[in-house]
Structure 1
Amino acid sequence: MYEAYLFDLNGTIIDDMQFHARAWHEILTKDLKFEITFDETILQMYGKNSELLERVFGKGYFTQQRMDELSMEKELRYQAAFKPHLKLIDGLGQFLDKAHQKGIKMAIGSAAIPFNIDFVLDNLNIRKYFPVIVSAEDVILSKPHPETFTKGAELLNVEYAKCLVFEDAPKGIEAAQNAGMQSIALTTLHQPEDFVQYPNILKFITDYQALDLL
């Protein structure tokens, strides 16, 4: 049995990635007048918000202050749109409770900022399951670099190979692979064919209803 479960947040604990994508697409196309399709926006949605802006516009196009402003504006729009739909992915509540009772350690490892992580954990009352939280502000290098997950494992005091990662994004699965960790892939935004290059995936799931502890 794995000793620790490391969870990404968006698209893994809650099914909200379409809301993030809409908020980003609106800011990029309407606010910033950049020509990019919705599907192309989805492909850029990994890592920190500032990294997304730098991938789209190039490094140095915005000041750090402007990127911080755009990042917060995007999160405010996302939260306003998603809050009426905020709920755990089906079966996750029971899965977390069962893992907690079995003594499996758990952590959040996300490229989200604390503002968004708090929005989810506190509104859904699941903070008690996650004594360790690694956010965008806690790492130097974002996924697919392994730092998000290796730091989580170290804070839980669990060997990397004894951690199981739950992710919804190819770059997140790649980060787990780079950390030497196996993973479960949720198909909330991407389909299995988007993950064919990653041998560290144990299984694909749409929700947690039929998933047993591993």
Structure 2
Amino acid sequence: MKAFIFDLNGTMVNDMPYHAKAWTRLLNEELHAGFSEDQIKANIYGKNPEVLARLFGEGKFSHDEAEKYSNDKEEQYRLEYKGHMELLPGLKEFLEDAYQAGIPMAIGSAAITANIDFVLDNLNIRHYFKAIVSADDVTHSKPDPETFIKPAKMMGVAPEDCVVFEDVPKGAEAAKNAGMRACILTTTHDPEDFEDRENILGFAADFNDLKIKQLIQT
């Protein structure tokens, strides 16, 4: 493998419950929408304005309203998560081993830049990554391949030489659309949720899994 590209939420840090909690507070307490837990979990992917449009329909909120609600949600997420922040088990060691092996690494995430900075700087892991692509850097969200194609280009690596680490079906689909293989962390979805497994190398609970560790040597 010549390069690794990591999704952030649910892949490097298991923070999706905190995102869900922040979304629930916005949607049901502030906007009084009354969505179920399953509805929220199924729809909180991609850019925040896309989530709002997906749940409420296009045109429900003005651009300024969508931005305000998006920012409110992210502030709540950071407030809730800061005291609980940690990498998935084994990831710090995996990053260090890959770094020492000279494997370039990048982040390709639907998170906004502020949230990526929030995680990287609080956990002191920014130095491991040669490229960072956030929701602010792309026109189209996953499953469009742009989020993964961009960091590959920034690292100077061909798509077929990249392995993507993801946790959701849309992310695995984006990797496939980019011509990349994917390794799935089962923090938020079970293996049976991934119907198309053509490009999936395997599933793992965390980065202590031997299948993931072996990627550095192959």
Task: Give CA-to-partner distance per residue, 1:103-146, whole Å, 9 cap, x none.
Answer: 11100000110110000000000000112100001100000000
Residues 177, 198 of structure 1: 8 Å contact kept: no
1:101-140 equivalences under 5 Å are: 101-140=100-139
SS at match of 1:212: helix
State the one-letter code of the partner of 2:140. L
Pair 1:27-2:49 in alignment? no
Residues 22, 38 of structure 1: 8 Å contact kept: no
CA distance in 2, matches of 1:129, 1:123: 14
Q: Which runs of 4+ in 1 moved over 4 A?
A: none
- Aligned-pair CA distance for 1:64: 1.4
CA distance in 2, matches of 1:133, 1:79: 19
CA distance in 1, matches of 2:51, 2:141: 11
CA distance in 1, matches of 2:47, 2:156: 26
Task: Give CA-to-partner distance per residue, 1:1-32, whole Å, 9 cap, x none.
Answer: x1110000000010010110111012111111
SS at match of 2:206: coil
- Provide structure 1 residue ranges, at least 5 long, that are not aligned to the other structure: none
Give 2:156's aligned residue.
157
Give 2:143's aligned residue.
144
- Aligned-pair CA distance for 1:200: 1.1
- RMSD of aligned residue pairs (Cα, Å): 0.9
1:85-104 equivalences under 5 Å are: 85-104=84-103
Pair 1:51-2:50 in alignment? yes
CA distance in 1, matches of 2:173, 2:25: 28
Task: Give CA-to-partner distance per residue, 1:159-194, whole Å, 9 cap, x none.
Answer: 000000000111001000111110000111111111
- Provide structure 2 residue ranges, at least 5 long, that are not aligned to the other structure: none
Give 1:203's aligned residue.
202
Pair 1:82-2:106 in alignment? no
Identity of aligned residues (%): 51
SS at match of 2:201: strand
State the one-letter code of the partner of 1:143. K
Give 1:39's aligned residue.
38
* TM-score of the aligned structures, taking structure 1 as reference length: 0.97
Residues 99, 213 of structure 1: 8 Å contact kept: no
Residues 19, 81 of structure 1: 8 Å contact kept: yes
State the one-letter code of the partner of 1:156. M
Count of equivalent residues: 213
* TM-score of the aligned structures, taking structure 2 as reference length: 0.95
